[in-house]
Structure 1
Amino acid sequence: MTLPAAVPKVLRDAVRCGSRWWVVGALQPAGGDPRPAAWDSADGRTWRSVTIMPHPGSFYGPRNVLYSVACANGRIAVIGAQSGGAHGNPRTSTWYQRPDGALAEVPAPFELYGGDEAVDVGRIVGGPGGFLIAGNRTSGPAAWLSRDGTRFVRHEVGEKGALARDGAVLDSRYFLIGAAAPASGQVAGGVVWESADGTRWARSPVEAVELQRLTMFHGNLIAVGQRGDAFAAWRRDDGKWVAVGGGDPSGGGTRAGGEDAAVGGFGRVTPTGVRSLTVAAGKLVASADRVWSSPDGGSWTEIAVPAGPVAVAGSDDALLLIGADRAWLARRAP
């Protein structure tokens, strides 16, 4: 794919929203500050640059690198950031899609995403109930919720020491996934938090080192993360989280009952973990340092790709791969 740009560009994320593809990142002129950038396309062949509209008077917005994009109810919302201030911490902005297709920066108080209690602002996800941003504060995991991307409200889980890595939005439920706070003398374990309104969160432990990415697949939520020295998948089934597939990726065999025990593993754990998870042409596709696909979440096959993956996005009949400064589209099932 050719994305129009007069200067070098960096690419960070992509999504299919309605009938269009979206790619976000930044333009990076030599020796200058980055500028937020996004591109969209109806067919994956012809791309156009999206109009970017920082909030008047914003200092960091015009210097954002857009790093996460999501779709809800036919519109996208985006997170961007730029380091700054006395300590060089990320200054986070969110952006919403206007009716004319432009991306407009949302004005927000510094303490909404930053401040003394800030740890990180991670991924944005979308669904029928709107948008959710997964991140962390010194008090533990946090979720920023919005119906339409024009205003976010922060809700904190209140589990100090735990970490949120990703989330999901259904019609009337919000989900966060990540790692629980390690108990004395023990390692952290995977955990899912679930809430109807963001104010009260119910937790479900999952037998994993950490859950890292979450998506909807064939009517069920699928979480992918680390178990042993490999990656594996878990499915939400009647309110419970059960491991998908057979065979322990660390070679330990399976347990009777199957729940959170029998796991079909893939790959080998990397420092960055699973960076992206999507559904393309009816299959799950996960990317870390490599890319794998699965028809069921239990059996995985590595996909040959032209470059190191940054992110993947899928549609009913295609897979979009984002590299550091280029993107590729495969028009059949991987």
Structure 2
Amino acid sequence: MSMLARTTAAAAALGLAALGGCSASPSADPAPDPVLASVRWAEHALPAPPGPPGRTVVRDAVGCGAGWWVVGAVFLDHPTETRDTRPAAWFSTDRETWAAVPVTMTTYWGRRAILSSVACSRGRVVAVGARAGGAHGNPRVTTFRPAGDGLVDVRTTFVQYGGVTATNVGPVSGGDAGWMIAGNRTSGPGVWVTDDPRGFTRVEGEPGLTDDGDLESLAQAAGWTGSEWVLVGAGSRIGHRLDQDPLAWTSSDGLSWTAEEVPAEEGFEDLHRVVALDDRTVVAVGRSGDTFAAWLREDGAWSTAERFGAISDDWRGTPYVASLARTPLGLLATLSTGDHYELWRSGDGRAWTRVEVPLEPPTAGDHTLVAAEGDELLLVGDSGDGGHVWSGAVVER
């Protein structure tokens, strides 16, 4: 599939082409899904946020409350010795006309944060950002909460996201119960949970999450099912890191956790993103060997992987799933093959087809492609030349 020119595509109807979805079973070779619909993508401008000028970058988006949020940062044209980025966010009620929202920064690292993740709960958003620095050059994490018509950074202690037991902080997700940030500590997977955006509770060393013996596990993301949190990732036994198995944990309150068994196959497998498809089905998407794959949890039981797509033979960056969202087209997953980004669609989590998009950024540290969760289609992308936002309209065939 050739990459389309980066121009407004208001007049182009881009088909949902069935480009190679495949089954997890080698013996079964189903026919490709038929073309179900087409999408008309239209690019819309993001205004420059107030403040020192620079290159706008976008990292995540979500539908929430009365409109849509996009978050990212500005890479300053004229950096100083201590500051070369600042956080940025935009809001739109119709996905077409966007306004930069005020981001109030009261902390040292908040003034420098790149907002990488945003999630919605009960009509409000929380964003998570970070900027590497300090004595050891580690990411310094800051959360941002709603304030008026914009965002403000939240003051907290260094050990809340860092400290001697720190490993990493991942994306934030939202649900009826509030927000959850997935991550890892030296004891194993850890999370930060809250129903109040003014502060998170750190959960680490909890028996249901702590590594045991020679197991080394890593959490990647969390999702809300309507009644509980599901945390996904992978783990391996010491000395067998190439045979990594998918892992999942569940919790009704984000504090006490229970590990669940996910069917594993030989080789490298890892769950990267998870969402609830409906009130009984959860879908997690990640890597399985040299392909991507989806795992389904139906009525509390996980099934084996359904493979789709392919990881590049000559990848320049680590292959991963950048986003997984519920949309009017069903589930949309954006993934990096290690060479470039792609968009894939599924109605049931099993059969996946590739979706043509207006931009397929090459894999790089400052590039991305993300499908937003919400009741309309929204796509954001960044190929190192500034942030892009597209609305999508489904055209029935």
Give the TM-score normalised by the residue count of structure 2.
0.75
* 1:187-206 equivalences in 2 (<5 Å): 187-206=243-262
How far did residue 314 of structure 1 move?
3.8
How far did residue 224 of structure 1 move?
0.6
Q: Deviations over 1:42-82 (max 9, x none)?
A: 11111111111123xx1111111111000011100000111
SS in 1 for 2:261: strand
Give the TM-score normalised by the residue count of structure 1.
0.88
Q: Deviations over 1:169-221 (max 9, x none)?
A: 34542221000232544622001011223333211232351101011213322
Task: Read off the aligned partner of 2:301 and give its amino acid letter.
Answer: K
Structure 2 residue aligned with 1:80: 129
- Asked if the contact 1:70/1:78 (under 8 Å) is kept, the reply is yes
SS in 2 for 1:62: helix
The number of equivalent residue pairs is: 313
- Asked if the contact 2:225/2:282 (under 8 Å) is kept, the reply is no
2:368 is the alignment partner of 1:297 = no
Name which of 319, 328, 332 aligns with 1:281: 328
What is the rounded CA distance, in whole Å, between the counterparts of 1:299 and 1:318 in structure 2? 20
For structure 1, the residue ranges without an aligned partner over 5 or more in a row are: 243-259
- Asked if the contact 2:224/2:276 (under 8 Å) is kept, the reply is no
Structure 1 residue aligned with 2:93: 42
What is the rounded CA distance, in whole Å, between the counterparts of 1:317 and 1:178 in structure 2? 28
Name which of 76, 85, 89 aligns with 2:138: 89
Structure with bigger RCO (C-alpha 8 Å, 6+ apart): 2
Task: Read off the aligned partner of 2:167 and give its amino acid letter.
Answer: V
* 1:177-256 equivalences in 2 (<5 Å): 177-185=232-240, 187-208=243-264, 209-219=269-279, 220-242=281-303
Structure 2 residue aligned with 1:21: 68
SS in 1 for 2:247: strand
What is the rounded CA distance, in whole Å, between the counterparts of 2:255 and 2:88 in structure 1? 34
How far did residue 317 of structure 1 move?
3.5
- Asked if the contact 2:58/2:380 (under 8 Å) is kept, the reply is no
What is the rounded CA distance, in whole Å, between the counterparts of 1:227 and 1:25 in structure 2? 30
Name which of 185, 193, 199 aligns with 1:137: 185
Name which of 163, 168, 173 aligns with 2:228: 173
2:120 is the alignment partner of 1:61 = no
Task: Read off the aligned partner of 2:393 and give its amino acid letter.
Answer: R
2:47 is the alignment partner of 1:4 = yes
SS in 1 for 2:320: coil
SS in 1 for 2:153: strand
What is the rounded CA distance, in whole Å, between the counterparts of 2:226 and 2:331 in structure 1? 22
2:166 is the alignment partner of 1:118 = yes
> Percent of counterpart pairs with the same letter?
38
2:194 is the alignment partner of 1:146 = yes
Structure 1 267/329 Cα, relative in aligned 2: closer, same or farther at 3 Å? farther
Structure 2 residue aligned with 1:318: 377
Structure 2 residue aligned with 1:253: none
What is the rounded CA distance, in whole Å, between the counterparts of 2:392 and 2:274 in structure 1? 22
- Asked if the contact 1:159/1:181 (under 8 Å) is kept, the reply is no
Runs of 4+ in 1 over 6 A off after TM superposition: none
For structure 2, the residue ranges without an aligned partner over 5 or more in a row are: 1-43, 336-340, 362-367
Aligned-pair RMSD on alpha carbons? Answer: 1.9
- Asked if the contact 1:13/1:69 (under 8 Å) is kept, the reply is yes
Which has the greater radius of gyration? Answer: 2
* 1:153-164 equivalences in 2 (<5 Å): 153-156=201-204, 157-159=209-211, 161-164=216-219
